[in-house]
Amino acid sequence: MSESAVGANINSFKILIVEKNLKEGRVAGNNKFIEYSATKAWLAQFDPKSQGSMVKMLQAMRLVSRDQFSESIRTRLLQVSEKVGGRVGLYVERELPPKNHPPEPLFLQPDIPPRRAYGPGPDPIRPDAGKPAEVGSEGIVAQLVSELCLEFPKKFVNHPGPDQLRKKKKPINNLILVTDLIGSGERAERYLDAFWSVCSVKSWWSGRISNGLSFGVVGYSATPAGRKRVKSHRLSPDVLIVAECPTIDTSFDEKQAREIKDICTKYAPSSGPIGALGFQNTGALIAFAHGAPNNVPRILYSFSNSWTPLFARRKTSATRTDFDEQLDPEEVVAPAKPRFFPGSRIRLSLYWPMSTKN
């Protein structure tokens, strides 16, 4: 089908969507992105009937600009620092070795008792050994963390190790993992597991009522399932995000979701271990200016001899100039005021979405 014909189809579908959204009090988003030539070329690969469903899927996506991402994460971290006692240790979420096995302890520790951890903290970035020149989203997050720690040294510490964490002067009581997205929750869970694998951390955690130790995860977005998985970790982390991550299941009714999933499966390039709906079949509908996560449907980022993706190899550089998400205040997840247990330094922070809509 020609690009002009695709454009005509898009316009008719958009009119129906806009009319429906206006009746429901919502405004359709991402129109500029959908009008982009690269997006139209991607849509032209589908049969005419499927194009309508794919337009709806793109309408439901969060497209996060670089400034929106950086400023939102920065604001959330500053909010955390204002609500806690002591300084905040910041750690950048990344893949931890070995793959397909429990992660190695985050800090160095002897193999024989007493297994007292020692040395510096973990590296914020460690490229894959097979791809030493490639750095993922952790590079963007690491830069943001570094800037905050340099600007506010009395509030934040960059990847503190056990030697720093033991210092009683200017204590670091709150350890925060920073990420862009909690999709399946597996990567954040593994990082928290790496903390737990350190015997000294277990000891500090057992005394948390007196020493005030707490853990948290700050990210731009999270799926409901991923957020639940991380919050259930034995370290009981607070999870603070900017906005919920839409998925196929949370964005559409059961019938429409099934139709979109079937199209994603039908057209997905048949290669690799990841399913048609993305890692662990999450079906996430989000992309950042620094890249698309592997939790989104594979038709968005995987190649084949007969398929050209919209975000080739998960890079969004061709379309990110049209990422201009403006968050509705009702979509922003707001932090609650922290509560303190009488007679102790430990805090309990609760976070809730201002709106119950997905």
The token pair at 140 is 């963007």
The token pair at 165 is 């964490």
pLDDT (tens digit per residue) in 307-353: 999 999 999 988 888 786 666 555 566 654 443 333 333 333 333 33
- Residue from 238, 81, 216 nearest 155 by CA: 81
Give the dihedral sign, CA 146/147/151/152: negative
Residues 6+ apart with CB under 8 A from 277: 248, 261, 264, 265, 283, 297, 298
pLDDT (tens digit per residue) in 185-220: 999 999 999 999 999 999 999 999 999 999 999 999
- Residue from 215, 181, 182 nearest 198 by CA: 215
Listed in sequence order, the DSSP H helices in the chain are 3-23, 31-35, 37-43, 48-60, 66-83, 138-151, 162-165, 186-196, 199-206, 208-211, 224-231, 248-251, 254-267
Give the orientation angle of helix 186-196 with respect to helix 224-231, to 10 degrees.
10
**Residue 293 CB neighbours (<10 A):** 25
Contact criterion met (CB below 8 Å) for 85 and 212? yes
- Residue from 148, 151, 134 nearest 94 by CA: 134
pLDDT of residue 326: 60
Weakly modelled stretches of the chain, pLDDT under 70: 1-29, 128-135, 271, 324-358
Find the radius of gyration of the CA atoms of the chain.
22
Contact criterion met (CB below 8 Å) for 18 and 30? no
**3-class DSSP state for residue 283?**
coil
pLDDT of residue 25: 32
Instruction: Provide the CA 279 distance to its chain's centre, in angstroms.
Output: 13
- Taking CA atoms, 104 is separated from 184, 193, 219, 225, in Å, by 20, 9, 23, 25
Please list the residues that pair with 157 across neighbouring strands: 89
- 19 exposed, middle or buried (CB, 10 Å; 0-12, 13-18, 19+)? exposed
Residues 6+ apart with CB under 8 A from 265: 276, 277
Token pair 């000294």 is found at: 200
Dist CA 114 CA 111 (whole Å):
9
What's this model's pTM, rounded to 2 decimal places?
0.83
pLDDT of residue 347: 35
Token pair 């009714």 is found at: 253
